[in-house]
Amino acid sequence: MLHLKVTIDKDSGFCFGVVYAIEMAEEILREEGRLFCLGDIVHNDEEVNRLEALGLRIISHEDLKFIKNEKVLIRAHGEPASTYQIALTNNLELIDASCPVVLKLQNRIKNAHDKNENIFIYGKHGHAEVIGLKAQTNDKAVVFQDLDELNLAELPEEITLFSQTTKSTSKFYEITESLSNSGIKINTNDTICRQVSNRDKLLKDFAAKFDKIVFVSGTKSSNGKVLYNICKEINPNTYFISRPEEIQSNQFNNNDTVGICGATSTPMWLMEKVKSTIEEF
């Protein structure tokens, strides 16, 4: 036995948007035993597997075109207007679990687009939330993950800048400063969810307290990658895992203190399972 002292970060786990979506899904699954969900309900394979065992069926946007007279869950990431139009055509009952923060952002982007502003969105290409945001501009908004993707010399003199809700606040303001220093007038809209961004500081404090950090997240989670890197910067002895089987006893020394934390898409039950696995070393 390595006699490890293991602590789970009480501030990690699902954000309220994900909690809301999963609670809605569980309620319907308890009553009816089946529910379609448009895309992964959360970017965590272990949680998706748990819900699929209860009767959740993950479908794609292509699948949606051929489904009629069913209930379909809209996950926290939100959807473009085209999804709602298909639902009307196919007599689908949408269980809309779109995060209120995302819906508010969609409205702000649509209003800016209606005023013919030059809209730029700091976000991950192809991410479900970003697809829904860009759709508010008839796909005219420019999406970028890094400043290097933009040719500053060719940008308009004035732009309106938004951000995907789960991006890093510090990176967003670095980008804003760089663009401003290039002579571009920016209408900055800090649209990052504070429940997510506030975890930056909390995680830094948490990661500094332990000999080793085990960060639990699905590989598809954008937020997970950001938060993992924050932990890694503070504590180089940080390990990224998606499930308990990936952690190895040789990563620890006798009497190590171990902190377990995760993304906003990581369920608490999974972190508890990781804790139990580590305590057996």
Separation of alpha carbons 13 and 23, rounded Å: 14
What is the per-residue DSSP string for 99-168? -HHHHHHHHHHHHHHHTT--EEEES-TT-HHHHHHHHTTTT-SEEESSGGGS-GGGS-SEEEEEE-TTS-
Q: How many other C-beta atoms are found inside a 10 Å radius of the C-beta of residue 65?
A: 11
> To the nearest 10°, the Cα dihedral for 164, 221, 271, 277?
-160
Element holding 231 (H helix, E strand): helix 222-234
- Is residue 129 part of the annotated active site? The answer reads yes
Sign of the Cα pseudo-torsion (198, 165, 168, 217, in order): positive
Give me the catalytic one of 31, 46, 129, 233.
129
What is the CA angle 70-29-86, rounded to 5? 25
Catalytic residue IDs: 129
